[in-house]
Amino acid sequence: MKQYGKVAVLMGGSSSEREVSLMSGAGVLAALQSKGVDAHRFDPSEKPLSALKEEGFDCVFNILHGPFGEDGTVQGALEALAVPYTGCGVMASAIAMDKWRTKLLWKGAGLPIPAFELLDESSDFDAIEKALGLPIFVKPSTEGSSIGVTKVKRPGELRAAFEEARKYDDVVIAEQFIGGGEYTCAVIGETAYPTIKIEPATEYYDYQAKYFRDDTVYRCPSGLAPEVEARARELALKAFKVLGCRGWSRVDFLMDDAGEIYLLEANTSPGMTSHSLVPMAARAEGIAYEDLCLKVLDTVHVG
């Protein structure tokens, strides 16, 4: 494992997803150390990134989640420091963190997405409710882990959902509900891994369902017909490439009752906790968590 040198597992940070990042980071750190990698914990909320050079780190396994960690900010800083790092570069990270701009790129490339509207103070909320139909999901554009998300089920509730989402971001999206099932597809390098069907016991796949509840059902294999599975993986790879992603990411998508696929969002720094989906997809391919961490570490890139 000497080819990796001294590895910093970048975790924690100061975003609203700090807790999840620390859980992911702890798992990655233990896995790399178990494989003999000279890996160490590094929390940028505790010391400056410049310490990476001062302490002699050769590369970074970035497992920060949320703003700063996966929005292009830390990626740009690492490139300025000439420290190789895992995952997507500055542009792809910044775009994928922004759900609105992600949708614009995918739509421009002819990829399928749910209908959506941007919300602001002057929006005609009643007209948007009628146009998109109920229920509607309302989301802050640049938050992850379902933070600030509301499912609007009754007429007249859209404005309140907008006000809640606006606490987290000035850009707020109202999105058409697609009810045939929620899925995800991990992409590592040039390979799309088996899709996973997500069946939360809660109203939708919220923060608690993602990270803490034990009653969320994950089906991997997802149960899709072989031709649909192949189409979903191909679409995930296209979505990954349109955004300019590299290394690894996770592409989430929805399916309607007719079997049509709609891209939802891309996560360029996926979770690596005990509940996380990329490790689950890897296991379906016979890849242990520790070996998955090495696969991701192999994607290190320097700008």
Catalytic site positions: 17, 145, 276
Q: Does 267 carry a binding-site annotation?
A: yes
Question: Are the beta carbons of 177 and 136 closer than 8 angstroms?
Answer: yes
**CA dihedral angle for residue 203, residue 209, residue 214, residue 215, rounded to 10 degrees:** 20
Alpha-carbon distances, residue 279 vs 41, 66, 181, 199, 276 (angstroms): 20, 19, 21, 17, 6
Quote the CA–CA distance of 31 and 39 in Å, as a whole number. 9
Most distant CA atoms of the chain, gap in Å: 61
Quote the CA–CA distance of 262 and 203 in Å, as a whole number. 20
Quote the CA–CA distance of 77 and 302 in Å, as a whole number. 11
Q: Number of C-alpha atoms within 13 angstroms, CB side, residue 100? A: 15
Quote the CA–CA distance of 165 and 173 in Å, as a whole number. 9
Quote the CA–CA distance of 2 and 108 in Å, as a whole number. 44
Question: Are the beta carbons of 193 and 237 closer than 8 angstroms?
Answer: no
What is the SS3 assignment for 223? coil
Q: Does 291 carry a binding-site annotation?
A: no
Q: Does 120 carry a binding-site annotation?
A: no
Rg (CA), the chain: 19
Q: What is the DSSP letter of 71?
A: S
| Annotated binding-site positions | 252, 265, 267
| Annotated binding-site positions for Mg(2+) | 252, 265, 267
